[in-house]
Amino acid sequence: MSPNDGTVAGTGEFRLIEAVTAGRKQPETTLLGPGDDAAVVATPDGRTVATTDVLVQGVHFRLDWSSAEQVGRKAVAVNLTDIAAMGARPTSVLMGFACPSDTPTSLVTELTQGMWLEADRAGIGIVGGDMVRADQIVISVTALGDLGGREPVTRSGARPGDVVAVCGRLGWAAAGLAVLGRGFRSPVSVVNAQRCPEPDYEAGIRAADGGATSMIDVSDGLLSDLGHIAEASGVGIDVRTADLDVSSRLTEVGTALGADPLKWVLTGGEDHAFAATFPAFADLPEGWTEIGVVTMPDSGVTVDGKRYGHDSGWQHWR
Ligand SMILES: Nc1ncnc2c1ncn2[C@@H]1O[C@H](COP(=O)(O)OP(=O)(O)OP(=O)(O)O)[C@@H](O)[C@H]1O
Ligand SMILES: Cc1ncc(C[n+]2csc(CCOP(=O)(O)O)c2C)c(N)n1
Ligand SMILES: [Mg+2]
Ligand SMILES: [Mg+2]
Ligand SMILES: [Mg+2]
């Protein structure tokens, strides 16, 4: 490949790194940014919250469905919600990136632009990464966070009698996925929800400060992710469908596609809303809505008191 053919091979590894790092303003918590063997990030709390999620072309995104910028935003967002779901505040992200030789350099810079847009929403920087060749695009983001003196809100603290609550939209990304999967591009509201969530990163901290006993971000599906809380906590969870927000937009899309919008709300992944449990009678933090109750030990997740007879959410390799 010639140096100016617009591909990553033409640009070369080190100029590509330069292209994605030059001129980026790091927040104060970045004590040493990209350019050395590792970055140095301040951890005011003294403990570091760390998480990683991988996104693979064709599995997590399609470039004929989403722009590179949207994919970049999503890659950061899905990691930052894991930090927030611990009751922590993100401090930094690192970007692992693999792509074929003929990938346009502009795709990589647009993707990086999207990652920085989302990082900026959370007031953090991309402090490092790696760029390698592969047969398809793979994005591996690592996010770090700070607990600010709080105790982490784990999946294992739910107790019978607690209320179950959510913060953020559910079912929208799944509706968007169904729309895109049928070859449509509208309504843009649900399609955009699939392309990139817009999480409220403060929601987890509000929950932690409001006494949440357990918390998770909804990546695979509400029932599936509540199942992780139920299992880790050794409890059951009952979801009341009457308290779920099945928006008229989801109902419209469901009618148009012959699909059940409630199923999207209960089992659709990728909205990255937050689900948590709180002590009974606690005042729920701003933006949080009660949707169910924590029940008897080890009784699983039920919907209106009954077992849900379908898949509870996304699973890879199924
Ligand atoms: N290869 C691995 N090695 C060690 N721990 C892992 C590995 N893969 C997953 N885990 C851990 O297992 C737990 C559950 O992982 P999972 O990916 O389901 O959670 P998540 O990232 O919150 O969800 P999602 O990936 O759907 O967004 C996490 O604590 C994760 O760090
Ligand atoms: C092209 C394409 N096909 C299907 C989907 C749907 N999808 C992929 S991963 C996932 C759950 C979360 O993933 P993870 O558990 O890895 O965080 C869902 C709902 C998509 N986004 N793009
Ligand atoms: Mg994960
Ligand atoms: Mg998670
Ligand atoms: Mg998952």
pLDDT, greater one: 298 or 78: 78
- The reply to whether 60 sits in an annotated binding site is yes
Phi, psi of 81 (to 5 degrees): -70, -30
Look up the pTM and report it. 0.98
> Within a domain: residue 63?
yes
136 shares a domain with 91: yes
One domain, residues 195 and 112? no
Q: Are residues 134 and 167 in the same domain?
A: no
Average pLDDT value for residue range 24-47: 96
Q: Where are the alpha helices (DSSP H) in 151-240?
A: 172-181, 188-195, 203-209, 222-233
Question: CA-CA distance, 282 to 293, in Å (whole number)?
Answer: 13
82 is in an annotated binding site: yes
Q: Is residue 62 within 6 Å of ligand 2 at its C-beta?
A: yes
Tokens of 184: 């449509």
In sequence order, what are the residues at sequence separation of 6 or more whose Cβ sits closer than 8 angstroms to the Cβ of residue 278? Answer: 162, 163, 165, 207, 210, 211, 212, 213, 284, 288
Amino acid identity of residue 98, one-letter, is A
Residues 109 and 230 in one domain: no
Q: Report yes or no on 25 lying in a domain.
A: yes
Calpha distance 99→261 (Å, rounded): 36
- Residue 1 belongs to a domain: no
Q: Indicate the average pLDDT of the chain.
A: 97
Looking at residues 39-43, what average pLDDT do you find? 97
Give the pLDDT confidence of 115-139 residue by residue, as tens digits: 999 999 999 999 999 999 999 999 9
CATH number at residue 61: 3.30.1330.10
Q: Is 225 in the pocket of ligand 2 (CB under 6 A)?
A: no
Query: Does the CB atom of residue 77 touch ligand 2 within 6 A?
Result: no
**Per residue in 58-100, pLDDT tens?**
999 999 999 999 999 999 999 999 999 999 999 999 999 999 9
- Counting Cβ atoms within 10 Å, is residue 92 exposed (0-12), middle (13-18) or buried (19+)? buried
Question: Are β-strands 125-133 and 89-99 bridged in parallel, bridged antiparallel, or unpaired?
Answer: parallel
DSSP 276: E
Both 168 and 135 in one domain: the answer is no
Instruction: Give the model's confidence band at 2: pLDDT under 50 very low, under 70 low, under 90 confident, else very high.
Output: low
Evaluate if residue 1 carries a pLDDT over 90.
no
Residues touching ligand 1 (Cβ under 6 Å) are: 53, 78, 82, 219-220
pLDDT, one tens digit per residue, over 179-197 is: 999 999 999 999 999 999 9
> At what angle are helices 248-257 and 172-181 packed, to 10 degrees?
30
Q: How many distinct structural domains can be found in the chain?
A: 2
Tell me the pairing of strands 40-41 and 138-146. unpaired
End-to-end CA distance of the chain, in Å? 39
Would you put residue 123 in left (φ > 0), alpha (ψ -120 to 50) or beta?
A: left
Does 315 map to a domain? no
Domain with 271 in it: 163-307
Token pair for residue 238?
Answer: 């009952």
- Closest atom of ligand 1 to 314 CA is 26
Q: Is residue 74 part of a domain?
A: yes
Task: Give me the mean pLDDT over the 9-23 stretch.
Answer: 97
Question: Which ligand is in closest contact with the Cα of 174?
Answer: 2
- Identify any residues that bridge with 129 across adjacent strands, giving them in sequence order: 95
ipTM of the complex: 0.98
Burial code (b: 16+ CB inside 10 Å, e: under 16) for 205-237 equals: bbbbebbbbbbbbbbbbbbbbbbbbbeebebbb
**Contact present, 161 and 294 (Cβ < 8 Å):** yes
Does residue 154 belong to any structural domain of this protein? no
What CATH number does residue 178 fall under?
3.90.650.10
Co-location of 118 and 200 in the same domain = no
* 270 C-beta closer than 6 A to ligand 2: yes
